[in-house]
Amino acid sequence: MEDQTSIKQIIQSMSPDGAGVVEGTVTNAAPLEITLTNDAKMILSANSLIVPEHLTDHEIEADIMMDDGALYAPTGAEDEKGEHEHPGIAKSGKHTHELKGFQLTGGKIILHTGLKAGEIVYLLSYNNGKKYYVLDRRG
């Protein structure tokens, strides 16, 4: 069986002295705090962490198009009747419409990818352990 090399080991082998990959646990999401796995007394606060966008809740602009299949759009909110008229059809209250196509251009999507308490993360320490870059979450 061949030796398996982890991403952590690869990065550590390429890092200059004073830098290294460590593992931590998110102990608080807001404000962000991460406790190092091998040193429970070392609690990193937001001012010593750099967190990439993919590990934060953030908004992106997107175009969404659907040409095949069906999208069912209910009319009316929970507290509304949703009644409206269609040519040749009597009022029917709350109902659904089958749409053959759908397009949203310039829409916004909120990605809830922020770090949560209890998650294990990998961090790259630099500046002699004064700063940490959060590489990714485990799993």
What CATH number does the domain containing 47 carry?
2.40.50.140
In a domain? residue 7 = no
105 in the same domain as 138: no
Burial 66-85 (b: 16+ CB within 10 A, else e): eeeeeeeeeeeeeeeeeeee
Distance CA 132, CA 21 (A): 9
In a domain? residue 132 = yes
The predicted-structure confidence for 74-118, as pLDDT tens digits, reads as follows: 555 555 555 666 666 666 555 666 767 778 888 899 999 999 999
103 in the same domain as 70: yes
Structural domain including 68 reads 57-74+95-111
In a domain? residue 8 = no
In a domain? residue 1 = no
The predicted-structure confidence for 53-78, as pLDDT tens digits, reads as follows: 999 999 999 888 877 655 555 555 55
Distance CA 80, CA 76 (A): 5
Half-sphere exposure of 2 (CA within 13 A, CB side): 3
Provide the number of structural domains found in the chain.
Answer: 2
67 in the same domain as 45: no
